[in-house]
Amino acid sequence: MIKVLVADDNDIMRRGLRLTLDAEEDITVVAEARTGREAVEAARRYQPDVVLMDVRMPEGGGIDATRRVLALHAPPAVLVLTTFDRDEYIEQVIRAGAAGFLLKDTPPEDLVKAVRMVREGHTMIDPVVVRRALDLLAAPPVRLTDEEEHALGTLTAREREVLGCVAAGLSNASIATELSTSESTVKGHVSRIMGKLHAENRVQAARIAYRAGLDTEG
C-alpha cells in the first residue's frame, strides 16, 4: 500500500485529491496538510511514501517544505503540484530535490500513475513543462562549481557513459540495452553516480551532466 500525504491550502483541491487516490486499491491518503509547516510535521509523524505538495501555501510554502521533508530520515518522494508552470518554479522544484512536477489540471489517471512511479524512484515532469525544464537543464550557469568538478572527476568511464544516458532521458532498461548490460547493473551505476554527485534524483544528476557536456559524448 502506497501511503500519501496531501499538502494543499485549498480544501476542495485536497478533497478531490483524496477521493482520486483513495479510490485506488494500492494507494491510501494517510494525512492532509494546509500549510508548509503542517506538511513537514505530518511527514515526520505519518511517514508517507509520497507527498503531494502544493507550491503556494502559507507558513513556508511548498518548496521550502519540500527541502525540509527531504531532510528527514528516510524521506518520502515529493511530487509537486501547482497551477503555475513558470520557469522560476521549475528551477526551484528541481533544486529542492522533488521527484516530480505536475500541473493541477493533470488527468486523474496520470496523477495516479505519477504517484506510483515516484514511489518506485522515477522522476515525473508534466509534458506541458518538460520542454521548459529541459531548457533549464541545458542552459544553467556556464561554469560547474568546484564541488561538481571534483565529483565528476570521481566517476569511472562507465559511470560517465551511464550519466550521459541519464541526461538523454533514457530509462534504466533503455540504458541497459544501449550499453549491452543488465538493468540491475545500470541501477547500481545510477545509485553510485547520484551518491558521488550528491544528487537527490535523476533530474539533478542530468542537470550536472548537461553542464559538463556529457549528454553529447558518443
pLDDT digits (tens, 9 = 90+) for 12-57: 999 999 999 999 999 999 999 999 999 999 999 999 999 999 988 9
The answer on pLDDT for 218 being more than 50 is no
DSSP H helices in 51-171: 61-70, 87-96, 108-119, 127-138, 146-153, 157-167
The answer to whether the beta carbons of residues 33 and 51 sit under 8 Å apart is: no
pLDDT digits (tens, 9 = 90+) for 49-103: 999 999 889 888 888 899 999 999 889 999 998 876 666 677 777 778 888 888 8
pLDDT digits (tens, 9 = 90+) for 159-179: 999 998 887 777 788 899 989
Phi, psi of 51 (to 5 degrees): -115, 125
The answer to whether the beta carbons of residues 39 and 69 sit under 8 Å apart is: yes
Q: E strands along the chain, which residues?
A: 2-7, 27-33, 50-54, 77-82, 100-103, 124-125
The C-alpha atoms of residue 190 and residue 179 are separated, in whole angstroms, by 13
Please give the model's pTM, rounded to 2 decimal places.
0.63
pLDDT digits (tens, 9 = 90+) for 124-151: 877 666 666 666 555 545 567 888 889 9
